[in-house]
Structure 1
């Protein structure tokens, strides 16, 4: 009887051991399957891009320019009479000699008025003339309101401080004769087109600026007038202010050489004959 009980205990112990082994093997197989599944199908991870500091915008280098002063404060350039009269024009205008190829050509003008009445600025460059940023109302007068909107009215508290780009489009009022023939109140001009002869040929052109008031009286002071320029290629252009009492031919000869003088004389004869 005791032997039977002992035998049953051994059988039960063996069965429990087998069951334990089966359970362990089951969990091992399950874990291995899960592990292999995760290896072959890894979870998706959304990458986080690195933070990149915004680079500052690139600023183009400022183009270097040279300049020639046509009027300075030392000249005491006061407008006291009609500068367009035959006796005053040669005295009041300034001669600018050019030769070569230009990239930039600008005229910077500063001036003062004596009171707060409405004043305007007459500009003559080469063969072109008009009133800066102005519009006509009739053959005898300007549209003051529109001219003021365009920035063409000046006074003591709003002095003249402008830049005229020779290569840009500039608004001028039409002249009296232009208005009568076309009925147009304004015109857009590119002053460079009126430099004669056209660079790179040597040229000498007169420039005159003169403020006047609503009554048509020329008045005020031009403090400075500066021609600012740069060449298309370094050394490919030259400019100089010619004194009013010096002939164009002598100015060209002294500053640009004999060939420039000869070329200008040929052009002058071709347009005057």
Structure 2
């Protein structure tokens, strides 16, 4: 993992379960909280985190409900629930304000946190998120539903997506090992319940961006297979949030893994401009 020592796992106990996180680096600017996408773990940021900490940023990565080293069974896996977990973690760490970054499913979570608790959020970053996505047609909705059902029934389908689709360009050196770990994790007893919770969640709720007043950055991979037209989605997000937009050429759905340097450069430039 880029030759760095893995951070020590810490836990936050909440009424519904336990959230795993790590807290590395230090600096004078607002800490950065990185949230992975659904069915993933905070290790999704294993290549980005050291670049940010080396630049003098305090970085917190958090596992989501049901995945990574967090508790598996919860009664709610929605983006709104995850937004509440993030704010609870800030309270736990005594952090007054932070920059929140969400990938894919959790883009909605950071938008929700920023809109609901503006005094706690210094800025938000959307990494190939579904916020303000182009409304799907009937056939697309059917396809998404079918893929969701496959994910619940067959963890191998998630591995197929990760190996064949999500990374259309370069892949991290540890990609195969990482994907094998993701698939194995989905086979953990009880994990199907968590998978179902995410698949049925609304990753692109309408109207949440209207409440956001903080600075925002939209980062999108130019070859993200989850969007027929990635730049169109990025434009919609940037317009809704009055945000800065950065397209990463050749990146897929996880730019922090396949283009960590370019992603770090985009984030660090954004962070440098925050008051």
Normalising by structure 1, we get a TM-score of: 0.25
Q: Which has the higher helix share?
A: 2
Normalising by structure 2, we get a TM-score of: 0.24
Higher relative contact order (CA 8 A, sep 6+): 1
Specify the structure having the higher radius of gyration (Cα).
Answer: 1
